[in-house]
Amino acid sequence: MKSKNTNNKCRQIRAWLHKTISSRLGLDADWVQNHIGKCPRCQRRIVSAGRVNLALSVMKSQPHKLDLLMRANTQAIGVLKHSLRRAPKACKLKAMLPKPKLLERCGKYAHPAANAAACIAILLLMKIGVFSSMDKFQTEGQKVVKQYYASHVGQEMADEIFTA
């Protein structure tokens, strides 16, 4: 129990440290931005690093043909042992196409899921609203009837009727 608490505290401190350091020493910190604005050397360095990142992004954004995995598998299996080449798994691999990642696969369901969640939320809110209004109507109605009885037969009698 004690170690669990210590772990949580450690985690909190680590998170706090990371947040503080990145806010004070990160590239977005005010004093860093002010310095970069004045220093041509830092500007050059940032531009160079940006160029590398741009080149990496360009490299990543270039798609390969859909059948490249299939072709690579076929070529690689072709040089393996005969017994492996004839295995059922090898045949599957020769026809294998790249599968999108889980996030990408779920991406197309994001919009309908968000719509469904919104509908459920609205229904819940409506249900809560209807029930609370019904309770309110009931208590208000009781009050009115009690007042009517109090004015016609007396307060004591009305109390007796409505407490029973």
Phi, psi (rounded to 5 degrees) for 63: -80, 150
User: Alpha-carbon dihedral of residues 49, 54, 55, 57, nearest 10 degrees?
Assistant: 130
Is residue 32 involved in binding another protein (CB under 8 A)?
Answer: no
The radius of gyration computed from the CA coordinates of the chain, to the nearest angstrom, equals: 35
Shortest gap between Cβ of 89 and another protein (angstroms)?
5
Q: What 8-state DSSP symbol labels residue 62?
A: -
Span interacting with another protein, options 4-12, 56-64, 115-123, 136-144, rule CB under 8 A: 56-64
- Residues 58-97 interacting with another protein (rule: CB under 8 A): 58-60, 62, 64-65, 68-69, 71-73, 75-81, 83-84, 87, 89-90, 92-93, 96
Q: How far apart are CA 110 and CA 118, in angstroms?
A: 12
Q: How many CB atoms lie within 10 A of CB 36?
A: 15
- Residues 4-23 interacting with another protein (rule: CB under 8 A): none
Is residue 151 involved in binding another protein (CB under 8 A)?
Answer: no
Stretch (H or E) spanning 99: none
Judged by CB, which is closer to another protein: 56, or 110? 56
Residues that bind another protein (CB under 8 A): 44-45, 48-49, 51-56, 58-60, 62, 64-65, 68-69, 71-73, 75-81, 83-84, 87, 89-90, 92-93, 96, 98-99
